[in-house]
Amino acid sequence: MINRSLAPAAAVLIVVLATACQPEPEIPWKMRNGLKAADGDTRLAAVREADVIFAGRAAPLLGRMAISDPDPRVRAAAIETLSRPNPPPPEASSVLIRALADPDPAVRQAAVEFRPKLKTRQFEEAPFLVPLLSHPNPAVRATAALALADFRSRSQPYLDKVRRLLDDPDPEVREKAAEASERISAPYQASYRGLIAAEWLERLKAAKTAEARIEAAGGLAVTGDQGPVTETVTELVKCLADDNEKLRYRAAWALMDILPRVPGLRKRLEAGGAPPPADGMLRYVLAASPGDEP
C-alpha cells in the first residue's frame, strides 16, 4: 500500500516514466540508410525524397551533409531540403553561413535562395556576409555581394565594402559587385529623387514669374513620377491653360515624360479630362505621348 504522503511524488514519477517511454519520432529506416549510403546517387535521391516532416527530424544529419558531403549535388539538395520546414530547424543558420562559402556554385546558389526564408534576428540584422566579401574564392566574393544586396536598407552601411569589389581582379566579381551596389543604393536614390520632385512642385506652385514656373515644369519632367504624382499632374494640367505659350508647352512636355512612367495615369487623365482651355492641350499630350503603359 502506497503511503498517502508519497502519493503526489509517485504520480509525478508515473507521468515522467510514461512520457519517457513514448518513442521518439524516427526517420524511416530506408530513408536513414539512404542518407548514409556510400553511393552519391543514393544519398541524393534520399535527400530529395525527404518530406517536410522528415526534413525536420533529419536536420542534424542533413546539416552535416550540406557542409561535408563529398558530392556537391548532395550538399545543394540537403540545403534545399532543410529549407522546407517552417520555421527552418535551428541547424539552418550555421549551415547557411558555411554553405555561402562553398566552393561549388550550385551549393552557394542554394544557400542564397534559402537565406530569405530565415527570419531569425541574426539573419535580419547581423552583417554575417561581410567577411565573405574578402573570401579567397572569387565566386564566393561575387555571391556574397549579391546576397548582401538582398538586405536592402540594412546593407547600406556596407555599401563601401561592396564597392571595393568594383576593382576586384576577377571580372565576374566586378560585374556582381556593380549589380549589388546598384540594388543597395537604389532605394536611397529613389528617395532623393522624390525630395527633388517635391521641391520642384513647391517651386511651381509658389513661382511668381513665368520663367520660374517654366523652370519648375522642366524639373518635374525629369523627377515628377518620383514625388507626389497626383498633385504634380494636377498642377501641370493647370499650366496647360496658362497664357504663356512656352509654359503651356513645357508643362505638356513634362506630362508626356511622366505618363509612361506612372501606371494607370493615362486612363485617369482620359477619364477625368481637363476644363477649357486646357482640354485641347491635354488631348494633344495624350495623343503625342508614348503608348499605353503595360
CATH number at residue 104: 1.25.10.10
pLDDT tens-digit series, residues 92-133: 767 877 787 788 888 887 887 776 565 544 444 446 678 888
Q: For residue 7, is pLDDT > 80?
A: no
- 20 in any annotated domain: no
- 226 in any annotated domain: yes
pLDDT confidence band for 224 (50 / 70 / 90): confident
Per-residue buried b or exposed e for 127-150, using 16+ beta carbons within 10 Å of the residue's own CB: ebbeebbeeebbbbbbbbbbbbbe
- 170 in any annotated domain: no
> In whole angstroms, what is the distance from residue 167 CA to residue 63 CA?
35
- 115 in any annotated domain: yes
* Cell representation of residue 230: 497626383
Q: For residue 193, is pLDDT > 50?
A: yes
User: Over pLDDT 70: what percentage of the chain?
Assistant: 76
Pairwise pLDDT comparison (92 vs 191), residue with the higher score: 92
pLDDT of residue 59: 80
pLDDT of residue 84: 78
- 149 in any annotated domain: no
The count of structural domains within the chain is 2
Q: For residue 91, is pLDDT > 60?
A: yes
Q: What is the mean pLDDT of the chain?
A: 77
**Sign of the torsion formed by the C-alpha atoms of 169, 170, 175 and 177:** negative
Neighbours of 233 (CB within 10 A): 22
Domain that holds residue 90: 26-120
pLDDT confidence band for 152 (50 / 70 / 90): low
By mean pLDDT, which of 22-31, 78-87, 124-133, 222-231 is the weakest?
22-31
